[in-house]
Amino acid sequence: MTRRVGITRRAALLGATGAAMGSMLPRLVDRASAATHEPRMLIARKGRAALWENEGPLADIWGYEGRVPGPLLRMKQGETLDVRFKNELEQPSTIHWHGIRIENAYDGVAGLTQPAVEPGATFDYRVKAPDAGTYWYHPHNRSWEQLARGLYGVLVVEEPGPKAYDRDVVLAFDDWRLDEARQIDVASLGAMHDWAHAGRLGNVLTVNGQPYPRFPARPGERLRLRVVNTANARVLTIRFTGLAPHLIALDGQPVAPELLADETLLIAPAQRADVIVDLPAEARTFTVEEASGQPFAACEFVLDGDPVTRATPLPQDIALPANPLPMTLDMDAALTQDLLMEGGAMGRMSGAMLKGAQRGMRELVDQGKVWSFNGIAGTHGDPAMFKVARGRTVRMPIVNDTRWPHAMHVHGHHFKVLSRNGTPVQREEWRDTVLTDPGERVEIAFVADNPGKWMVHCHMLEHQVAGMMSWFEVA
C-alpha cells in the first residue's frame, strides 16, 4: 500500500524549498510552416520530467515529443495546421483537439471517428481553427491512463489584428498522483475506487509540467493568462491575489470582460479561462494559488526590469472580437434531448443497460461500469443517443442525479449555458465543457451545424470510461 499525501502537501514542501527551486525557462513555441505544407510531427513517446521538484528525481512520463506539456502549438484563426501524429508508445492512441470545431474525421475519437493509431503507426490530422482562443489536445483512447501519464499539450489560436496586452502566458495546471519513489503511481491506474468516486485525484500540482515555475515579467506589463485545467478529475480553484484578474474568455469563446469575484477562478477538468492582469509598476513577486483546500502557491510572477506604461486602465479595450459561432438558437423548433446522469458511490443507481441488456450493479462493477447516461452505462459501440438534422438547435437539460460533480463535454460544438436550477445564467457563456454540481440541473443549447459523429461525455476521465459517455450524429 503506497502512502497517499494530500495535494496540500505541496504547501509544506514549498514553504521549505520553494525559494531554492530553479527558474522557469520559456517553452519552445512551434509554428506551422504554412508556406511548405509540411506537416508538423507530433510523436507520442516516453520521456522524463521533474514533477516533484525542479532539481529532484525525474519521473517517467508519456508525452508528445516526450515532454509534458507537449509542444505549445500556435496558429492564426482560420489557418489550417497539418499534424502528422506518430505513435511510439506500446499502446494505441489518437489526438483529440479539444474545443476546436473541427472536421469530424479529425476529431480523434478512437472507435467513433477513426481507428486508434497502433504502435509504430501514423495518422495525419488537419486542424482548421474557425475560432480564436485557448484550446488543448490530448488522446481519446484510454484517456484516463494516457492523460494521467502526461499526454497533453496546449493549442493557441490567435486573433487577427493588434493585441490589447503585451504578452500571453500559458498556465496549464495538472495534478499528478506520485508514489513514494516520486514516480507516477501506475499501480492505481484503473482503480475502481477512483472510478466510482471523484476520479483520479493527484497529490502534486504542476503548472506547465513544473512543480513551481517562476515567470519573469516586467513591472506594469499587461498579461493574458491562458489557464487550462488538464487534470484527469480535479476541479481547481485558482486565486490571483492582488492581480485584479479580468476574465475575457471561457473555453476559447469571448465573454464580456469582468473582474473575477474574490480574484478567484473555478475551473473544471478540460475547461480553459483567459484572464487579463495588469502587473503593478513596482518590482515585486506575485504568487498564484490553488485554493480548493488549504491554499498553496502554484507558481509565481517575478517582476523585474524597466516598467511598462499603459494609458488605459482595465477593463477598457480588452474585449475580444466574437468568433463565428452559430449563436442564433431557435428554441421553438429545438430538438430536446434530456441527459440524466446517475451512478457512482453513494448514488441511487441500481442497474443500467450495458451492451443492450439490463444489468444489476454487481455485474456492472465487474464490467468496470458504475455510471450511466439516461439509464445506459456507455461503451464505444453503443447506438447514438440522438440524431439531428444539420442546422437544428439542440436543447439539452442535464440533470446530475449523483453525489459528484461532473464536467460535461460536447465535441465539435460550443453550447450556450442557459440556466442552472431554472435560474437563467446572466453571463453570455459559450462553452465546450460545463461543470454540473451534485443535484444540479443545467440547461444548455447549441446549433448542431457540424456534420458527423460527436461524443458527449464527462471529462472526469474515470467517469467517462466507467459509463459516462455517449454520442450523437449530425446529418
Residues that bind Cu ion (CB under 5 A): 406, 458, 460, 463
- Closer by beta carbon to Cu ion, 189 or else 327: 189
321-324 CB contacts, 8 Å cutoff, 24+ apart: 321/132, 321/159, 321/161, 321/254, 322/254, 323/77, 323/130, 323/131, 323/132, 323/133, 323/252, 323/253, 323/254, 324/130, 324/131
- Closer by beta carbon to Cu ion, 143 or else 287: 143
- Closer by beta carbon to Cu ion, 235 or else 448: 235
Q: How far is the CB of 127 from Cu ion (least distance, A)?
A: 27
Q: How far is the CB of 104 from Cu ion (least distance, A)?
A: 24
Q: How far is the CB of 195 from Cu ion (least distance, A)?
A: 10
Which residues touch 151 (CB under 8 Å, ≥6 apart)? 44, 62, 63, 64, 70, 93, 138, 139
Alpha-carbon gap, residue 18 to 10, rounded angstroms: 10
- Closer by beta carbon to Cu ion, 172 or else 233: 233
- Closer by beta carbon to Cu ion, 77 or else 367: 367
What are the distances in angstroms from CA 101 to CA 141, 224, 253?
20, 23, 12
Q: How far is the CB of 402 from Cu ion (least distance, A)?
A: 8
Residue 32's CB is within 10 A of a number of other CB atoms, namely 20
Q: How far is the CB of 293 from Cu ion (least distance, A)?
A: 20
Q: How far is the CB of 461 from Cu ion (least distance, A)?
A: 9
Pairing of strands 357-360, 214-217: unpaired
Alpha-carbon gap, residue 266 to 399, rounded angstroms: 20
- Closer by beta carbon to Cu ion, 40 or else 197: 197
Are 173 and 161 in contact, with CB atoms under 8 Å apart?
no
- Closer by beta carbon to Cu ion, 275 or else 460: 460
- Closer by beta carbon to Cu ion, 150 or else 467: 467
Max distance between CA atoms of the chain, in angstroms, equals 68
Q: How far is the CB of 468 from Cu ion (least distance, A)?
A: 5
What are the distances in angstroms from CA 15 to CA 18, 233, 310, 336, 401?
6, 26, 35, 52, 40
Q: What 3-state DSSP class applies to 143?
A: helix
Q: How far is the CB of 263 from Cu ion (least distance, A)?
A: 28
Best CA proximity match to 99, nearest among 130, 76, 78: 130
Alpha-carbon gap, residue 470 to 463, rounded angstroms: 12
Q: How far is the CB of 344 from Cu ion (least distance, A)?
A: 8
- Closer by beta carbon to Cu ion, 236 or else 299: 236
- Cell digits of residue 449: 451545424
